Amino acid sequence: MVDLDSTGIGLPEQNVTSQLNPWSPELRNSIMANFQEMNVHDIAETCSQLRVGSLLKVSGEEFAVDGLLGEGGFAKIYRARNEEGLAVALKYEVPSCAWEAVHNRISTEISPAIMKIDDMYIFRNASLIVNEYLSMGNMLQCINNVPGEVSYSVVLHLFIQLARILKEVYAARIIHGDVKPDNVMFIGKLPEGLSLHADDLLSSEPIIRLIDWGRAIDLSSLPNGASFGGRAGTQCFDCPEMLNDRPWTYQTDYFSFAASLHVGIFKTYGKVVEDTNGFMFEKPLPRCADQKLPIPSWDNIIEKLTTAFKLTFRHNGLKKQNATMRPF
């Protein structure tokens, strides 16, 4: 008997109420049939469960699994060594899902800031994605490692980069669908030298990468004007439209961006409350991050955050974080 894994449990509060379900396996399969992905390999076999200490052989390659990096409602992420001894990240998902390759359509101009798929193996029961192992951790881990509050300048700098990434994602008519600090990985450190000008920092290479495209929605493959109803089920990141069962599309990423910014500034998840002016966080974000419009412009958000960053930088410089926040 093949030892199967129990991933793929989903999100308990997900509840799609619209006739068009953007996460329907049938819909995704029909969309993927129109794309040829060079690094996606179909394997007519069943993949056994991955465990720390196990040895996985697939398509002539061998991976020694040596650690569990994390798990969510849909998958588990392991650290492993390939035959050359190099560390890689293995994302193991049950049932199989080739959907994450959809992000290959996004502009190559920001490719360092978008998750890369070295290889994706689609088994009968599971999928296995081989990615570069990023040792610096994700944004949530790093925020939690800071003993006090996170430097406001640092937060603004990182979220300007994230807003620029999402602007390019939208240019490809893709909704990420799961923007949160856990899904922002560090690929570099802030530039050394506090004498740098704000403009130099703003034009520097991205130090973050957006990962986990399993909840992405490809609007370019759907009817014009398509919208959705119901909840994604991600606690503290479901947008007000989901909570009130109103139609939504891009609102989910805009709200999740603001909710992630709330985590960066306050080190707490944002609680949404409703008053006569509509929905807002119980602990309001700074004015530069105010997002009361249903679908604001990424250019507008970037401009506001950039103005605030330059003002903060001029007064305080780029305050260095405690060494426990490794990327900083």
Question: Which active-site residues does the annotation give?
Answer: 178
- The continuous run of DSSP H or E covering 163 comes out as helix 152-171
Q: By CB neighbour count within 10 A (0-12 exposed, 13-18 middle, 19+ buried), where does 145 fall?
A: middle
| Angle at 163 (CA atoms; ends 104, 200), nearest 5 degrees | 105
- The continuous run of DSSP H or E covering 127 comes out as strand 127-132
Q: Is residue 169 within 8 Å of 307, Cβ to Cβ?
A: no
**Other CB atoms within 10 A of residue 13 CB:** 13
**CA 208 to mean position of chain CA atoms:** 10
Its sign, for the CA torsion 312, 179, 227, 299, is positive
Cα(137)–Cα(134) distance, rounded to whole angstroms?
6
The residues, any chain, with a CB within 8 Å of residue 91's CB and separated by 6 or more, are 75, 76, 77, 100, 127, 128, 129, 131
Cα(255)–Cα(260) distance, rounded to whole angstroms?
8
What region does 85 belong to: left with phi over 0, alpha with psi -120 to 50, or beta?
A: left
Q: Please tell me whether residue 176 adopts helix, strand or coil conformation.
A: coil
- Token match 């602007």: residue? 167
Residue 91 labeled ligand binder: yes
Annotated binding site for ATP: 91
**Residue stretches of the annotated binding site:** 91
